[in-house]
Amino acid sequence: MNENKTRVALIQMSCDADTKLNLEKAAERIYGAAAQGAQIVCLPELFRAQYFCQREDHSLFDITESIPGPSTDVLTKVAQETGTVIVASLFERRAPGLYHNTAVTIEKDGSITDMYRKMHIPDDPLYYEKFYFTPGDLGFKATQTSAGKIGTLVCWDQWYPEGARVTALKGAETLFFPTAIGWHPSEKEEFGTAQYDAWQTTQRAHAISNGVWVCAVNRVGHEHGDVLHNGVMMKGPEGAGIEFWGGSFIADPFGRIIARASHDKEEILLADLDSKLVEITRQHWPFLRDRRIDAYEGITKRFLD
């Protein structure tokens, strides 16, 4: 492979109620991606469980884990055995009563290179994340890896141009967005296409305005948030649940979609990312050059009356 190119794999997967099975599946998929030449692999948001934030349930804090912890113990071994960099989103137990939605970056030698704690925490119907997650306090980050300089943001972060911009300004040339997003079945017919298009469009805009690669990985499947952990079943709420829309994709620094997954199948989405294209694109579309950094003080205000 060209020395400027990096093969990326996004693991679009469904999630079982059993947290043990999800970790085993994720590891299996990483081995499969590595066999196809992947150098960096990203898993979906909170891949260890079905999306449990569909309700507020104190018993679900039992599935939290430290970093390092059980998931990273497995994934660091997988990274060593496959020679891949891994980005994995976990339900972090930082201290008693203090929990984060955290993406960990594991280097190919098995070392934990960096952590990013989700900054923007939603609170919407069936997405009650504020009950579980403390907003991140590590800031937006760029991480040097053997597979290039990357930045990771998590799901709800993907709607905010500020996070992508700061991460790019710190030197990230590829942005990863591990995600768990889907349709309310009652809304899908009327709004489903527009919702997915908006999700994809806003992230393509991050690629264009910052001249970076964007890799968004989602889960698939219809979930009610059932969680089986250490032999204990915690049932999700009755009702329609969430139909996770998949559609994982990779966009180049000009916003063009170079790889896209289906809406309803598990897939390993692969693409070769050319780091030289970041500089070439920025030379022709010099948005970073022409920023008026002297005129942006209002961006740090909640609202300008």
Q: Residue 133 belongs to a domain with what CATH number?
A: 3.60.110.10
* Residue 305: inside a domain: no
DSSP, res 172: -
Domain tally for the chain?
1
Which entry of 65, 118, 141, 223 is annotated as an active-site residue? Answer: 118
Q: Choose, from 45, 107, 129, 173, the residue flagged as catalytic.
A: 45
Q: Is 276 a catalytic residue?
A: no
Q: In terms of pTM, does the model score above 0.85?
A: yes
Q: Is 45 a catalytic residue?
A: yes
Buried/exposed 224-258: b ≥16 CB within 10 Å, e otherwise: bbbbbbeeeebebeeeebbbbbbbbbbbbbebeee
In order along its 305 residues, the chain shows pLDDT tens digits of 677 899 999 999 999 999 999 999 999 999 999 999 999 999 999 999 999 999 999 999 999 999 999 999 999 999 999 999 999 999 999 999 999 999 999 999 999 999 999 999 999 999 999 999 999 999 999 999 999 999 999 999 999 999 999 999 999 999 999 999 999 999 999 999 999 999 999 999 999 999 999 999 999 999 999 999 999 999 999 999 999 999 999 999 999 999 999 999 999 999 999 999 999 999 999 999 999 999 999 999 999 98
Which residues span the domain enclosing 238? 5-300
Query: Does the annotation count 118 as an active-site position?
Result: yes
